[in-house]
Every structure is written in C-alpha cells, then in structure tokens.
Chain A
Amino acid sequence: MTDISAIEKPRSQWSDVWSQFKTHKGAVAALTVFVLLILFVTVGPFIWTADPTYINPDAAQMIRTRNKPPSWDFPLGTDQLGRDMLARMMKGGQVSIAVGLVAMTISILLGTLVGVTAGYFRRLDGPLMRLTDLFLALPLLPLLLVMVMLFRDPLSRTLGPEGGTFLLIVFAIGVTSWMQAARIVRGEVLALKEREFVLAARSIGTPSRRMILRHILPNVVSPIMVSATLGIASAIITESALSFLGLGFPPDFPTWGRLLFDGVDYIQQYPERVIWPGVAISLTVLSVNYIGDGLRDALDPRIRGR
C-alpha cells in the first residue's frame, strides 16, 4: 500500500515565494507595520469618529481645547485650532498613502513599459532613451506647477475639488517620476537578452510578447520592486511640497505632508505636532522599503531556497 499522504502536494511558485519571504524577519515586521498603518487609516475612522475638520464654534471652548497634549479625549492631542490630531492623522493618511500607492503604480507601469520596450527592441532603444533623457532634463517642480495651473480648474469642476486634485496630483507625480525605473529596467533587459535561456527560447520560435512576459519580466522584478518602494516615498514627499506651495489639496484638507508643514511653526512648543506625521511618513516609507527588500529576495530564484 502506498502512503498517499507521503507525497507532498505540488508546490506553487507563489507559496515558494511566501515561504522565502517569511524567512526575512525585517520584511515580515515591515509587512505587519504596513498592514497596521493601512488599517489605521481605513478602519480607524469608523472606530474613532471625530471629525478631522471640526472646530468648536464656541470661542471660549475652542480656546480651551487648543494645543492640548495627548489625553483620553484627544489621544494625539489637538492642533492650534482645537482640531483632533488623531482624526486628522487618519484622514491625512488615507490621502497620503493613496497618493503614494497610485502615483507609484503609474510611474512603475510607465517606467517598465518604456524600459522593457527600449531594452528589447533595438530600433526603439534610441528614441525611447532620448525621451527619457528629455524628461530627466525637465525641471520637475515648474512642470508640475504648470500642469496644476492648466488642469486644476477643469478637473475640479468635473470631479469636485478633492477628486480632481487627487487625480491631477497622482497623474502629475506618476508621469514625472518613471525615468529612473525605465533606465534601470532597460539595463537589466539588455543584459538578460544575451543570456542562454533567452537564446534557447528564441530558437524554438517564442514570439516577442511571450518572451517578454514569461522570460524577461520575471527576471527584472527585483529592480522594479526596489524603485517602486523608493517611488512611494518620493510621491508622498512631492505631494506635501505641492500642498505647501498651495497647489495641492485645499488648505483645510489634511494630508500627512500638510500636517507636517503646519506643525513646523510649533516645533519648539509642541514637538509632538511634527512627530506624529513625521513618524507616520517614516514608518510608511521604511516598511515599504523593507517589504520591497524581502520581495526581491523572495522573487529571485537564485536566492530562493538557500
């Protein structure tokens, strides 16, 4: 009698990746932190229901609740107008994380597309890389300012001031930050193209589309992951810079970047005002970086299983 249970279940690639990922302690911790942060900003507002823009209409009450240190009523304290910092942190996080993730996705998609095409098709290499150089040479902030100036009004009329600004900022950051990723990906693709397995695949007549999707892309995932993680960080920071210049979200719309800028004036008296958003931004960036690090190790077949 053969013991069926002795035969191991076939292992899928993704379970391999996961078991490799689990061995990276930093990455697991980072994933936990990131999931907690996401829960904080998405589920949090349902538990802590204070309004992030509520200012007490009674002047005497408002004066009394200004600049409060953390307490049971206000777990993270209040700001200079008596608004609840915890609620503002949650609301701000929703926007900042969403901007970071979406802008990163756009820039990675664009960067990978340009990088792979340029690396794989020799005829397109020249024009695409010159386009990349062109974008790299453009001064980004002025370009963003022009884009915001031109498109903010029409967009906010159709999608509302917040929706329109979100789309605009995400798109603006996305289309101005794909160049690094494109260059790195192109380099990797150029090297991969000369490898024996690609030659073998080509010799049996694999079409370009399948070649890219099956053989090239999985092998360039690690550099893409790394630049993606860095992209989230810079997207959050660019958004705060735009908000600071008055070209981002409306001024009463909290984002982590804006909370940080608002807090700078009070850094000496109420350092927690800059610490909360500062810590939140750092944690997000750091955890995404670690997740990227773990993913890269896990996705690389040469490291996996060792």
Chain B
Amino acid sequence: MKLKTALLGAAATLAFAPAAFAERGADGNVNVLYSQAVSIMNAYLSSGTKDVEVGSLVLEPLAGFDQDGNVIPRLVTEIPSVENGGISEDLTTITWKLTPGLLWSDGTPVTAADAVFSYEYCTHPEGGCAQAARYEGIEKVEALDDLTVKITWTGPKPNPFTAFVGATSPILQAAQFANCLGTAAPTCTEQNFRPIGTGPFMVTDFKVNDVVELAANPNYRDPAKPAFATMTVKGGGDAAGAARAVMETGEFDYAWNTQINPELQAQMEAGGQGKFVSAFGTLVERIEMNMTDPSPDLPEGERSTAMHPHPMLSDIRVRKALSMAIDRSLLVEVGYGNAGRPTCNLVPAPAQFASPNTDCIAQDMEGAKALLDEAGWVAGADGMRAKDGVPMKLLYQTSVNPVRQDFQALIKGWWNELGVEVELKSVDGGVFFGGDPGSPDTFQKFYADVEMYANNFDGTDPEPYLAQYLCDKAPSPANGWQGENINRYCDPAYDALVAELASTREPEKRSEIAIRLNEMLTKDSYVIVPLVDRGRLSAHSNTLGGVVLNTWDSELWNASDWFRIK
C-alpha cells in the first residue's frame, strides 16, 4: 500500500512537473471576469454565488469537494471517517485534525479556536448568517486542543460534511473578527472586504461592486503555489459580454458563467482564443404538474390547494402522455448545446444517487395519443381533445428568459399536436421567484396548470432536496404560500420512505432509497417531468492552464493550481 502510494505520488510529480516546480508568483497576473460584480468577501454575509466563490480565494473551509463531489482535505490532515475514528460509531460526532504549522496570511498560526469562532460567528442569535443551514443540527463545536476540532450533533448525522466543508462555510480568523459578532457583523467593513485568510491569495484592494485586486499569499501552505503573483477579479456586464472578453478580445483569462446560445458558443470557440468548459451538477430544468385545481372560478384561498384536485392532471395517464410528447434532445440542441443534456431524473448527480432511468428520452407521440384516448380525452373535429364536453386546455407558465420562451413555444407545439390546447404565460423572474405571498404570479402559488423552472441542491446529499416533496410541505394559504412541495404531491408511501432515508446510515442503502424516491416523483408518477440537466458553463483563455470546473464547490476551488501556458 505504502509503495503504491509512493509510486502514484512520484507519477503525479512527474506529470505535473512543469507546474509543480514553478516558483510562486512566477507567472505574473491573471484576469478573471465575473459578470455579477463582487460586493463582499465574506461568504457568511452573502448568498450570492459570486461573493462566495471569489471569497473562497482567500477564506478556506477545513475541507472541500473535488470535481466528482468527493470530500478533499484543505486545512486538515485527512478526511474523518468511521474507519479512521474521525466519526463516532453512532454518527453523532466528527473530529477534524488541523494540519500542523498552518499560518494565516498575516503570519499568525491557524488554531482550532478559529474554527470554533467561525461556528459562533455564523450561529450568533442576533446575526443574519446567510449560510446558517451549513451548521444546522449542531449541539456544540469544541477545540479539544490547538489542532483538534470536535463537532457534536444533536442526533445521528449520516452526512456530517456540511459544517466547515465547502466554500460556503469557511474558517474566519478569530483575532480579526472578534468584534464583529451578531449585529456588528455587517458593519465590520474592513474585515468583510479584506479578510485575513489561508487561501492562495489575499486582498490588496477592494472596490465594492467593481474590482478586487489580490496578491499571492506569502504564507500559503504549498511553497510553490500559486503560480500567479497577482489576480484581478473584475465584475459587471452580462454573460455574452463576459464570453466575448475571453474568447474574442482576450482581455480576460477566465470568465464565470458564460451561458449563451449554442450557436454563439460554437462561433466564439472557432476563433481559437479560448475554450468553454462545462461541468454538470444537480441543476435540472423541469416541468412541474399542478396536482390541484388552479381554476380562477374557485374562491381565493381554495385555488391551487389540496381541497380541489386537478380535473385533468390528477390522472397519471394525462401526465405521462404530456411527458411522452416532449423531445428532450431537441430542447437541449436549441437551448443549451454543450451545457445541457436530456434527463429523466430529478436528481441527476452525484453518480451514486442518480437513477439509470432513460425511458423519457425518446419522444413517443403516437403512444401519448393512445394514452390520452385511453384516459377518455377524445379528439374532436378540430383535433383538440375534450372529455364530457370539457376541452383539454392548459396554462403553462415560466419566468421571462429567452431559452425558456423557446422551450414554451416548442412544447406548446408538441402538446397542440397531441390535441391539447395550451396558453402560455411568462412572468418576470423577480416576481416569479420572489416568493411574495401577495402576488398571484409566484411559482409557489402555482396559479397555472404546469410550470417550468430549474432547481438544484446544495452539496452532494439529496436528502433535504427529496424531503421537499412531503405532503405537509405543500404551499397553501395556511403557511403563507411558503413550502417547497410545489406540485402539492402527496403520497404516504413517499413520506414513509423519506423518513426511512433520514434514519438510514449505510451509504449503499441510502443511495438505493434516494434513487427510489427520485423515481417515485418522475417515472412512476410523472408529477415532475425533468427536461434538461443543465451544466455550468465558463470560459477560459487558451493560455490559462490547470482549470478544472467544479459544480460541487467554488468554481475557483483550484485557483492555486492555475498556471500560464507559455
């Protein structure tokens, strides 16, 4: 075992020789463009991806995720597990061992007290911590000695890699943030703009919503990294402009989130200045079927609630037919190109939780028509279907977005061919996702028959995500239209299985249950009709090496490995 590891290490050293032996700061400056400008470096005070990611260049967690979703050590010697004793047998504690000799960028040592402080900082009762979910279910965090952090959970925690893992729960320097607890947190401008960190870079100049200037951290744990002496992170513009700045004008080396139409992607790539990189996470564009009646004739407060089942969509044959009529490959081709792939799953990744189901990929118009005939919806003289004199008519809503409007037009075409009348509606994204209980147009209220949007889950464990579809999580007037069970799906068997998942510890059993839950929502019931597994798409210049896109952690997770190709 030892020998094998040593050999692997030697091989890796040889493979990465040009980069690994490069001197720190030998490659000059690297320019990064974020189309949304950075407003703060402290991930605890912002839920914006751009702030978390740029902040991750400076502030690091104990461990992170690699591009496959595996947990990798950052400030610790190894990842705790039940086998190495880091996680207790009953799954109620986890113990992290810090790497000895770690220094902050100001030269002071990193200790376990800093981790305890970070926990206190985010869970302070008077502070509004944006990442509080990472610390849910913790009873206490203690420093056993200078290098040992022990987290005790309130109950067994099958997935303990939430606190101090990933860019959204970094370690702050206790000495720097000591006076920034609770309500004082947002007022600590100097600390939030120029945090002292352990990451490969440190802030030299910060202009809010404009530009961040960084320089290599002289005390970074790997003496050969980072290869760049300075980094400039510029903010502003839009996705197309960002892509152009890397792919056409060459002003920038890296651009974040360059989601543009497939043809423009191909055209820009043909220029030969740079490359688009994509990676797939858990973001799925889907159609949600309303299981309750959204008819405007119902009194306010009863519309789209469990009191009235949907007259058409509560029949599974109708839902299945609507799904079968869709050609997902064409949707990908039109809307996303390389940054998307057709999917039938609500949970498309990580691999151990993804169902192998691909039944929905092939379009089957004839089968769908037969299924509707069987369900009693018969085509009339004009080709439109009706049952007992009620015409088959759907209201299909989504947010304003060019790709979504194209999808609406295409899907309306297929459903019309099926004999279903479709009325389209698009709502401004700010309103649709705004969650205002007073607005009739939010996706939670779902005053439509079907709606389309995309959603994903944080981290690598789908349990909380799948638990959104419990009966009691349906939005209704009683809970102020808050709740994640958008379809008002309700199956006691599903609820029981979710409870079983929460109490299951063995990884194999967990993935088995998660796959089952995913299938209950998709191919068994067609309540959720997944369309496209959407990847993250970024662009980098051909002269920038070492870029590995990661959807499980910060996109800049390995910025310390970036180098200039000469």
Q: How far is the CA of A157 from the CA of B264 in the complex (A)?
A: 41
Contacts of B428 in A (CB 8 A): 245-247
Within 8 A of B (CB), among A236-274: 244-247, 250-252, 262, 265-266, 268-269
A161 on interface, CB distance cutoff 8 Å:
yes
Query: Is B334 a contact partner of A251 (Cβ separation < 8 A)?
Result: no
Asked if A266 contacts B408 (CB within 8 A), the reply is: no
The reply on A55 being an interface residue by CB < 8 A is yes
A305 to B316, CA, bound (A): 78
Known A55-B410, A57-B414: A252·B424 in contact at CB below 8 Å = yes
The answer, yes or no, to whether A31 is at the interface (CB within 8 Å) is no
Q: A250-B424, A266-B261 are in contact. Are A55 and B400 (CB under 8 A)?
A: no
Cβ A251 vs Cβ B330 within 8 A: no
Give Cα A153–Cα B240 distance, bound, in whole angstroms.
36
B405 to chain A: which residues have CB within 8 Å? 251-252, 262
B455 at the interface (CB under 8 A from A): no
Q: Mark B328-339, 1 if CB is under 8 A from A, else 0.
A: 011001100000
Judging by beta carbons under 8 Å apart, are A81 and B409 in contact?
A: yes
A244 pairs with B424, CB closer than 8 A: no
Q: How far is the CA of A244 from the CA of B428 in the complex (A)?
A: 8
Q: Is the CB of B406 within 8 A of A246?
A: no
Q: Which residue of B lies closest to A153 (CB)?
A: B296
User: Within 8 Å of chain A (Cβ to Cβ): is B439?
Assistant: yes
Whether B106 is near chain A, meaning CB under 8 Å from some CB there, is no
The reply to whether the CB of A53 lies closer than 8 angstroms to some CB of chain B is: yes
Minimum CB distance partner of A54 in chain B = B413
Give residues 53-81 of A contacting B (CB, 8 Å). Answer: 53, 55, 57, 59, 62-63, 66-67, 80-81
Partner of B417 from the list A57, A63, A251, A268 (CB cut-off 8 Å) is A57
| Beta-carbon contact of A252 and B408 below 8 Å | yes
- Give chain B residues whose Cβ lies under 8 Å from the Cβ of A244: 400
Give chain A interface residues in 66-104, CB to chain B under 8 Å: 66-67, 80-81, 83
What residues on B are CB-neighbors of A246 within 8 Å?
A: 399-400, 425-428
B296 pairs with A157, CB closer than 8 A: yes
Once bound together, how far apart are the Cα atoms of A271 and B57, in whole Å?
Answer: 40
Of the residues A53, A59, A252, A269, contact of B330 by C-beta under 8 Å: A59
Interface size class of A (residues with CB under 8 A): 20 to 34
**Interface SS majority for chain B:** helix
Which of these, B327, B406, B426, contacts A59 with CB under 8 Å? B327
Q: A66 to B400, alpha carbons, bound, how many Å?
A: 22
* Distance between Cα atoms of A136 and B177 in the complex (Å): 50
A138 within 8 A of B: no
Closest to A245 in B: B428
How distant is the Cα of A83 from the Cα of B413 in the complex, in angstroms? 12
Is there a chain B Cβ closer than 8 Å to A149's Cβ?
yes
What count of chain B residues pass the 8 Å CB interface test? Answer: 34
- Cβ-defined contact, B261 with A53, below 8 A: no
Check if B423 sits within 8 Å of A81, measured CB to CB. no
B157 located at the interface, meaning its Cβ lies under 8 Å from any Cβ of chain A in the complex: no
Q: In the docked arrangement, what's the CA distance between A250 and B409, Å?
A: 11
Q: A57-B413, A59-B327, A246-B400 are in contact. Are A81 and B296 (CB under 8 A)?
A: no
Q: Which residue of the partner chain A has the closest CB to B413?
A: A55
Shortest Cβ distance from A258 into B: residue: B405
* Known A250-B424, A262-B402; contact A63-B330, beta-carbon cutoff 8 A: yes
Nearest neighbor of B267 in chain A, beta-carbon distance: A269
Cβ of B263 and Cβ of A67 under 8 Å apart?
yes
* Bound form: Cα–Cα A66–B441 in Å: 32
Residue-wise interface mask of A (123-164) relative to B, using a CB-CB cutoff of 8 A (1 in contact, 0 not)? 000000000000000000000000001000100010001000
B440 within 8 A of A: yes
Contacts of B399 in A (CB 8 A): 246
A81 contacts which of B240, B406, B426 (Cβ < 8 Å)? B406
Q: In the complex the two chains form, is B440's CB within 8 Å of A153's CB?
A: yes
Q: Of A81, A153, A250, A265, which contacts B261 at CB under 8 A?
A: A265
Shortest CB distance B526–A (Å): 22
Tell me if B286 is interfacial: C-beta within 8 Å of chain A: no
Complex: A62 Cα to B426 Cα, angstroms: 24
- The answer on a CB contact under 8 Å between A252 and B412 is yes
Knowing A63-B330, A80-B334, A269-B263 touch, does A251 contact B424 (C-beta < 8 A)? yes
A260 to B327, CA, bound (A): 28
Q: Is A55 a contact partner of B409 (Cβ separation < 8 A)?
A: yes
Determine whether the beta carbon of B426 is less than 8 Å from that of A251.
yes
Q: Which residue of A has the minimal Cβ distance to B398?
A: A251
CB-contacts of B405-458 with A (<8 A): 405-406, 408-410, 412-414, 417, 423-428, 439-441
Do the beta carbons of B423 and A250 come within 8 Å of each other? Answer: yes
Q: Contact: A251 with B425, CB < 8 Å?
A: yes
A55-B410, A153-B440, A265-B402 known; A62+B417 contact, CB < 8 A: no
Of A149, A247, A250, A251, which is in contact with the most chain B CB atoms at under 10 Å from its CB? Answer: A251
Contact between B410 and A250, CB atoms less than 8 A apart: no
Whole-angstrom CA separation of A265 from B425 in the bound complex: 21
Shortest Cβ distance from residue B399 to the other chain A in the assembled complex, whole angstroms: 8
Let me know if B408 and A251 touch, CB within 8 A.
Answer: yes
Q: How far is the CB of B49 from chain A (nearest CB, A)?
A: 23
Interface bits A216-253 vs B (CB < 8 Å: 1, else 0)? 00000000000000000000000000001111001110
In angstroms, Cα B333 to Cα A57, docked, is 15
- Considering the complex, which residues of chain B in the window 377-419 have a beta carbon less than 8 Å from any beta carbon of chain A? 399-400, 402, 405-406, 408-410, 412-414, 417
A59 CB, nearest partner CB in chain B, Å: 5
Complexed CA–CA distance, A66 and B334 (Å): 9
Most A CB contacts (10 A, CB to CB) among B264, B399, B409 go to B409
Closest beta carbon of chain A to B249's beta carbon, Å: 13
Q: Which residues of B contact A157 (CB under 8 A)?
A: 296
Answer whether A63 and B333 are a contact pair too, CB < 8 Å, given A157-B296, A251-B408, A269-B267.
yes
> Chain B residue with minimal CB distance to A62?
B330
In the complex, which residues of chain A have a beta carbon less than 8 angstroms from the beta carbon of B263?
67, 266, 269
**Least Cβ distance of A78 to chain B in Å?**
13
Distance to closest chain A CB from B224 (angstroms): 42
A246-B425, A266-B263 provided; 11 other pairs, C-beta below 8 A?
A55-B413, A57-B365, A66-B334, A67-B263, A251-B400, A251-B426, A252-B405, A252-B409, A262-B402, A265-B261, A266-B264
Return the 9 tightest CB-CB contacts between A and B, nearest first.
A246-B400, A246-B426, A55-B413, A251-B426, A59-B330, A251-B405, A250-B424, A246-B428, A246-B427
Binding site for B on A (CB under 8 A): 53, 55, 57, 59, 62-63, 66-67, 80-81, 83, 149, 153, 157, 161, 244-247, 250-252, 262, 265-266, 268-269
Could you tell me which B residues sit within 8 Å of A by CB distance?
Answer: 240, 261, 263-264, 267, 296, 327, 329-330, 333-334, 363, 365, 399-400, 402, 405-406, 408-410, 412-414, 417, 423-428, 439-441
